[in-house]
Amino acid sequence: LAKTTQPISMDSYEGQEVNITCSHNNIATNDYITWYQQFPSQGPRFIIQGYKTKVTNEVASLFIPADRKSSTLSLPRVSLSDTAVYYCLVASYGSNYQLIWGAGTKLIIKP
Amino acid sequence: GAGVSQTPSNKVTEKGKYVELRCDPISGHTALYWYRQSLGQGPEFLIYFQGTGAADDSGLPNDRFFAVRPEGSVSTLKIQRTERGDSAVYLCASSLERTASPVGANVLTFGAGSRLTVL
């Protein structure tokens, strides 16, 4: 199972673009990269997933280089409501299916 | 239902008591997960159901923990002889089944969790 490493915390300001990078050095060929967001007292919420290159949806963009050993979640023009914990996970396809969650990145947006 | 529903939202019990936590997944989601989350930590995997059967229960910490999903929909997590260390938020999530949608299976929808406090 591919383990991920991401910064423990980050600060930014309203209106800025925020990039959170995650490393997953032992990602396997068929693995997907997924990102979740979690607010206090709520369960995590799926943001985006990708396999390679770039994926964009209405919330974020995900950049994955060719070697796939890292990925970057990009949040455009953040607001105070984007303050949350962001988790990077690798979805591993095997006989047993697990998502291994790290401690995530606590993102604090300041006015 | 529209989302994943978990009951109770809060449960306070005494050490040694038995508790049951219930999860009602999204209709049509055959995959169901239980996680446990302590303050400041990421979710810790407990068990994964594919339909009625537990496909992976390797995360259950000991034999005091047990989960069932008898009809392939609602699931109950059961904890016997609770200990103070069992205090945490217990999260349930559901998703599409992997063989039906390999990419959709990565999109887990979580409930709000059941906060268990063992005194």
Give the residue from A41, A59, A99 with the most B CB atoms within 10 Å of its CB, the best one to mutate: A99
Amino acid (1-letter code) at residue A100: I
Amino acid (1-letter code) at residue B104: G
pLDDT at A96: 57
How far apart are alpha carbons A44 and B43 in whole angstroms?
9
pLDDT at B1: 54
Give the residue from A49, A101, A106 with the most B CB atoms within 10 Å of its CB, the best one to mutate: A101
pLDDT at B97: 80
Is A9-110 assigned to CATH 2.60.40.10? yes
Please compute the mean of the pLDDT values over residues A13-21 and round it to a whole number: 97
Q: Is the pLDDT of residue A26 over 90?
A: no
pLDDT, tens digit, 9 for 90 and up, residues A50-109:
999 999 999 999 999 999 999 999 999 999 999 999 999 988 765 556 677 778 999 999
pLDDT at A91: 81
Among chain A residues, the shortest Cα distance to B10 is held by A41
Please compute the mean of the pLDDT values over residues A39-56 and round it to a whole number: 94
Interchain contact, B42 vs A93, CB within 8 Å:
no
pLDDT, tens digit, 9 for 90 and up, residues B68-102:
999 999 999 999 999 999 999 999 999 988 776 77
Q: Delimit the domains of chain A by residue range.
A: 9-110
* Residue (of B68, B111, B66, B65) closest to B91 by Cα position: B111
Q: Look up the CATH number of domain B5-118.
A: 2.60.40.10
B9: three-class secondary structure by DSSP: coil
What's the Cα-to-Cα distance from A69 to each of A6, A27, A41, B39, rounded to whole Å? 12, 7, 32, 29
pLDDT at A97: 63
DSSP state of B109: E
Among chain A residues, the shortest Cα distance to B93 is held by A43
Gyration radius of chain B over CA positions: 14
pLDDT at A23: 94
By Cβ distance, the residue of A43, A49, A99 closest to B111 is A43
Mean per-residue pLDDT of chain B:
93
Among chain B residues, the shortest Cα distance to A44 is held by B110
Question: With pLDDT > 90 as the criterion, what percentage of chain B qualifies?
Answer: 81
